[in-house]
């Protein structure tokens, strides 16, 4: 069998650094706009994956789908079968602070969760799902140097998009959580499990306290030039791996 049950690429088709947006169409747009010599390496279930070069260095970009079960499948196979060294999730999030605006950036130093996946992975214990520090440090430094406004802290990765608990938002806000996503806790745990590196950088698509929302088009085209900062930092870290 060539590839895995979910990825048709051959070994060697993926670079050591992979960016993972949730939306495969966002992966396509990012690859087209930021990489040279791009080639499609996966289209199974339309979960597009691309490999190209950035300033002469190989980089891959692939969708993860929505939720921790989906990103867990793809991240596991990338780490385990394709020997990817670091995955950076470039996704959208719901901002929890009233002074946030659509397009603000959040670096997830840690990821809390209501999912049972990490407990099951970690013998029923609570695993502290955290980013790779060197990736976090490099991206943060380059973002600040580039004049980007970026916040760093805890995000909450939920199994729920429509949470039935009406007190949920107030609870996570009280704990100082910056934003909500649906993938980061699983990605961080998988990176630790495989001895690899991971980081999540999020663009605010909804500001929950104010009701400000991005359009579907804005969501799909989130990040723009921020990707250049992320890639430069990631490739510096890759050189040291």
Catalytic residues: 206
Q: How far apart, in whole angstroms, are the C-alpha atoms of residue 187 and residue 216?
A: 24
Tokens of 115: 């999912």
Please, is 103 exposed, middle or buried when counting C-beta atoms within 10 Å of its C-beta (0-12, 13-18, 19+)?
Answer: middle
Quick one: DSSP state of residue 97?
S
Q: How far apart, in whole angstroms, are the C-alpha atoms of residue 140 and residue 108?
A: 11
Tokens of 86: 């670091």
Angle of helix 226-240 relative to helix 133-145, nearest 10 degrees, comes to 140
Please, is 150 exposed, middle or buried when counting C-beta atoms within 10 Å of its C-beta (0-12, 13-18, 19+)?
Answer: middle
Quick one: DSSP state of residue 98?
T
DSSP 145-158: HTT--EEEEEEEE-
Q: How far apart, in whole angstroms, are the C-alpha atoms of residue 23 and residue 25?
A: 5
Tokens of 231: 């890639």
Q: Are strands 197-207 and 57-62 parallel, antiparallel or unpaired?
A: unpaired
Q: How far apart, in whole angstroms, are the C-alpha atoms of residue 141 and residue 56?
A: 22
């Amino acid at each position: 069998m060539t590839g895995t049950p979910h990825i048709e690429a051959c070994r060697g088709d993926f670079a050591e650094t992979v960016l993972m947006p949730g939306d495969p169409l966002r992966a396509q747009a990012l690859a087209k706009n930021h990489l040279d010599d791009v080639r499609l390496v996966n289209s199974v279930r339309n979960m597009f994956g691309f490999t190209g070069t950035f300033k002469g260095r190989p980089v891959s970009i692939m969708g993860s789908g929505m939720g921790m079960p989906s990103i867990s499948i793809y991240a596991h196979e990338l780490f385990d079968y394709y020997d990817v060294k670091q995955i950076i999730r470039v996704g959208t999030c719901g901002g929890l602070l009233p002074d946030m605006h659509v397009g603000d950036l959040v670096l997830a130093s840690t990821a809390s969760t209501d999912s049972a996946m990490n407990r099951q992975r970690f013998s029923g214990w609570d695993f502290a799902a955290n980013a790779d520090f060197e990736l976090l440090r490099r991206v943060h430094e380059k973002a600040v140097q580039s004049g980007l406004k970026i916040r760093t802290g805890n995000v909450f990765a939920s199994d729920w998009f429509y949470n039935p608990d009406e007190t949920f938002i107030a609870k996570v806000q009280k704990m100082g959580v910056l934003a909500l996503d649906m993938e980061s806790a699983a990605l961080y745990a998988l990176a630790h499990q495989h001895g690899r590196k991971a980081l999540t950088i999020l663009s605010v698509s909804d500001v929950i306290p104010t009701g400000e929302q991005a359009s579907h088009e804005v969501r799909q085209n989130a990040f723009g030039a921020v990707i250049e900062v992320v890639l430069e930092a990631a490739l510096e870290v890759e050189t040291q791996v």
